[in-house]
Amino acid sequence: MNTMEDKATAAATGASATERFRTDKSGATDTPPERVSMLAREVLDAVHDVIRRHQVTYPEYDALKAWLIQVGADGEWPLFLDVFVEHVVEEVANAAREGSKGTIEGPFYAPGAPRLGADATLPMREGEKGTPLVFHGQVRSVDGQALGGATVDIWHCDDDGYYAQFAPGLPEWNLRGRITADGDGRFWIRTIQPAPYQIPTDGATGALIRAANWHAWRPAHLHMKVSAPGYQVITTQLYFPGDPHNDDDIAMAVKPELMLDPRPAADGRGADVEYDYVLDPA
Ligand code: DHB
Ligand code: FE
């Protein structure tokens, strides 16, 4: 249902994600003209091929133009690209890694989250809704060395599927933090379980999803960047067993290695889950 609240959220999400991208990643590269030419040529060839094979009409071409214009107007390019394209870029970028599996960053990372100690509670509202989760583990190198002082930069949505800084009304760093592991690379993160996430349905990306009769869901997930000096940072996500969208994530970012195995917490409140990271040398 498109309530007014949904509308406000989608508009704010697109604008915030576009602003974030422009601030953090200029997109400028020194890609040589021969490579630009080859990549642009082959993308255009692929488009031409689809038009010929499916006998695309003028009304369909104009619908595409109108839609592309709207994606920009809604500020939804970061959302659209990260949901439908980034997973293959990540696959190519991380193909040679021996350590932990990566997956997409998505549009909602915010650098500079509060620094927290090895036994951390993420910033959250008084009485934050959701199932309590204690997530703990160890950061090691591919040759098995504990990486003391490693950083786990974690972010996730709340129990309503909203990310701080991208949906209105949430405290700036809600459910975001940079945890410094202890001398043995170990960390404990107290938070709440994130809800499944639905791509905003009232923007241009939502319009495509509806027009194609797809669904707009990503399974519940934790995002993180794990780093240590001298090692490659890994950007990844972790997922919860039993989520109905683990097998049909719209962003195609789920991998079997990224599935958690939560256990009931010892104190009977919520879940406890362990996951270790393995970093490749830089
Ligand atoms: C999108 C949102 C996410 O939370 C995510 O992890 C990946 C993509 C998106 O809206 O594009
Ligand atoms: Fe996400």
**Residue 8: is its pLDDT beyond 50?**
no
Distance CA 98, CA 228 (A): 16
Distance CA 101, CA 95 (A): 9
User: What is the span of the domain harbouring residue 143?
Assistant: 1-282
pLDDT at 266: 87
Helix/strand number for the chain, H first, E second: 6, 13
**Residue 267: is its pLDDT beyond 90?**
no
pLDDT, one tens digit per residue, over 101-145 is: 999 999 999 999 999 999 999 999 999 999 999 999 999 999 999
pLDDT, one tens digit per residue, over 134-159 is: 999 999 999 999 999 999 999 999 99
pTM comes to 0.93
pLDDT at 152: 98
Q: Is the four-CA dihedral 17, 116, 238, 231 of positive or negative sign? A: positive
CB atoms within 10 A of CB 133: 22
User: How many structural domains comprise the chain?
Assistant: 1
For a mutational test of ligand 1's pocket, the pick from 21, 81, 82, i.e. the residue with the most ligand atoms closer than 8 A to its C-beta, is 82
Average pLDDT, the chain: 94
pLDDT at 3: 45
Instruction: Name the residue at shortest CA distance from atom 10 of ligand 1.
Output: 79
Distance CA 87, CA 238 (A): 15
Question: Model confidence at 26, in pLDDT bands (50, 70, 90)?
Answer: confident
Q: Looking at residues 15-41, what average pLDDT do you find?
A: 90
CATH number of residue 241's parent domain: 2.60.130.10
Instruction: Name the residue at shortest CA distance from atom 6 of ligand 1.
Output: 106
Ligand 1 atom showing the smallest separation from residue 199 Cα:
10
Question: Model confidence at 11, in pLDDT bands (50, 70, 90)?
Answer: low
Q: Ligand 1: distance of its center to the CA of 145 in Å?
A: 33
Residue carrying the six token digits 């519940």 = 220
Residues with CB under 6 A from ligand 1: 79, 82-83, 104, 106-108, 197, 199, 218, 251
What token pair was written down for 211? 């027009």
Q: Report the candidate in 162, 174, 225 with the shortest Cα–Cα distance to residue 199.
A: 162
Q: Ligand 2: distance of its center to the CA of 111 in Å?
A: 15
Question: Model confidence at 12, in pLDDT bands (50, 70, 90)?
Answer: confident
Distance CA 169, CA 5 (A): 11
Q: Ligand 1: distance of its center to the CA of 280 in Å?
A: 26
